Amino acid sequence: MQVVTASSSGLHNVFVYGSLLADEVVTVLLQRVPRSRPAILHDFHRFSIKGRVYPAILPVDKKSVTGKVLMDVTTPELDILDTFEDVEYERRSVLVNILDNSDRVEAQTYVWRNANDPDLYGEWDFEDWKKKHMDDFVKMTIGFVEELEQPESKPRVETYESFFPQDRSDPTSS
């Protein structure tokens, strides 16, 4: 098994596990789709969030999250992802296993800031999200990117909340 670390060339690996699994969302944000590899992050769990259509991950022993690693993300692109993930997440360095070989890769990922959030529940499902929410999420992301170009742009959470109506009492609405 080989451990591959991020290069010093200003390029980054980013483990994605939610809406960023969709090439359509990545294209809107980065104006390209970086090369990617299927991967798994051990000892984390992907939760649904009441009132949100996107997931959160937190460390949970003996659980794992499947996703993919976006390879060779530039520092300006990572800055865009940081802005997109906004204040709800913190970016952390993690080791992920590439699924089609035995490499372990150092990658950045976005972990939910509030480890005790009562709005986290169950398991978030990408295929279900694609059917129910992807088209609207892509439209919201286009609005977010357009907003970024304004002198006083709104944070992503505010853009999201203005685009998706909030019903925090019904966990099945997300």
Span 138-148, pLDDT tens digits: 999 998 888 87
- The structure tokens listed for 170 are 């019904």
For the segment(s) 3-164, the CATH number from 3.10.490.10, 3.40.630.30, 3.40.50.2300, 1.20.1260.10 is: 3.10.490.10
**What mean pLDDT is predicted for residues 93-102?**
92
Q: Is 93 left (phi over 0), alpha (psi -120 to 50) or beta?
A: beta
Report how far Cα 170 is from the mean position of its chain's Cα atoms: 23
Scan for tokens 């949970």, then name that residue.
Answer: 60
Name the catalytic one among 77, 85, 127, 147: 85
**Higher per-residue pLDDT: 153 or 67:** 67
Q: What is the pTM of this model?
A: 0.85
Side chain identity at 47, as an amino acid letter? F
By three-state DSSP, how is residue 110 classified? Answer: strand
Classify residue 174 by its DSSP letter: -
Per the annotation, the verdict on 85 as an active-site residue is yes
Residue 170 confidence (pLDDT):
46
Percent of the chain residues topping a pLDDT of 70: 82
